[in-house]
Amino acid sequence: MERLIFGDNQFFGINHMSEEKARQQAMQFAELPAVMDTLAAARDAGIKAFMCTTHDRIADVAEAMRQEPSAWSDFAFYPCMPYAHKYANAVTELGYFDALKKFLPQGGLIDATFRGGKAALTGDVTAIGELLIDAEMKPFKAIHTPIVFIQNVVTDLLLGLGYHEAFRVFADHLRRRYNAEAGFITMNLPKLLETLDRVGIENPIVCANVNKIGFRMSGGIDAYREATDRWPARVIAMSVYASGAIPPAEAIEWVLNERYVRSILFGASSARNINNTVDLVERFSRVKETLAA
């Protein structure tokens, strides 16, 4: 798992603190070349992993990278699924059958359709879940995807419903079919770690908000420390700047000293901001290593 992971929120106009900034970013990245230029800046800064939703536009990004394999050979995608809006939009635009054909893997259309039909008839929830995973992975054919995440909306819904075995189904299917590890995005890290341990997923990869002011950290900072002491995990810290509420240097210095944090997920709209974050991580990592020595 990479120490620094580049995120995609800025490409889709998502900002949790400022609607105006979100609007500006949506306009800035309205065309694919702007997205690719920013990803190239991240790659050139030494970042080798891109965590992204399975939004329709990400399929265009994956295709652009397939067209230039030598330029992106060391670059990995960490897909996050599902992106529910695309299913609703496809059914509205294409109808149920054509929407199904659009999302099912082409190479296994008959097999996938059979599995989906059988699952619907027998109520086989596991088969339905596996079919949906395969549909979401379709745009990433021939792309390196070592970790695949469940979006926090679904993760936390499954937690609330008590259908915890779904996490095991997700992890097992990814390992068997894609040789990938499962990752889980959540707004409730303490509850999720306890649940994953109960279903036999040890040392999981979990992405959650981790920042100095406890912004969107369910239970607070101390609860996260206590949970990771009890149930060890590889934690990816997101929203480390708390959507701009914490100065960058202060945010990075603090999060690097959280003993359970293995990686940092961040988004940026320019090469300058990308390089600033990389420089801060390198600087404070050196300080931490010096103090430890």
pLDDT digits (tens, 9 = 90+) for 252-287: 999 999 999 999 999 999 999 999 999 999 999 998
- The answer to the question of residue 69 being in a domain is no
Domain count, the chain: 1
Rounded mean pLDDT of 156-180? 95
- The answer to the question of residue 17 being in a domain is no
Look at the pTM and tell me if it is higher than 0.75. yes
- The answer to the question of residue 121 being in a domain is yes
9 exposure class (CB count in 10 Å sphere: 0-12, 13-18, 19+) = buried
Side-chain half-sphere of 112: how many Cα atoms within 13 Å?
20
- The answer to the question of residue 232 being in a domain is no
80, β-bridge pairs: 53, 149
Determine the pLDDT at residue 103. 60
Rounded mean pLDDT of 71-97? 80
Determine the pLDDT at residue 75. 96
- The answer to the question of residue 98 being in a domain is yes
- The answer to the question of residue 100 being in a domain is yes
* 290 sits in which H/E element: helix 271-292
Place of tokens 């929407």: 99
Q: Which positions ≥6 away from 253 have C-beta within 8 Å? A: 280, 284, 287
Rounded mean pLDDT of 85-114? 61
Least confident of 30-34, 100-104, 106-110, 217-221: 106-110
Tokens standing for residue 104: 């099912």
Residues 265 and 238: beta-carbon distance below 8 Å: yes
Determine the pLDDT at residue 188. 96
CA nearest to 83, candidates 130, 17, 153, 148 = 153
**Is pLDDT at 25 greater than 90 in this prediction?**
no
- The answer to the question of residue 128 being in a domain is yes
* 264 sits in which H/E element: strand 261-266
Q: Which domain holds residue 121?
A: 84-136
CA nearest to 167, candidates 202, 136, 142 = 202
- The answer to the question of residue 244 being in a domain is no
pLDDT band at 97 (very low <50, low <70, confident <90, very high): low
Rounded mean pLDDT of 206-218? 96
Place of tokens 């609007």: 23
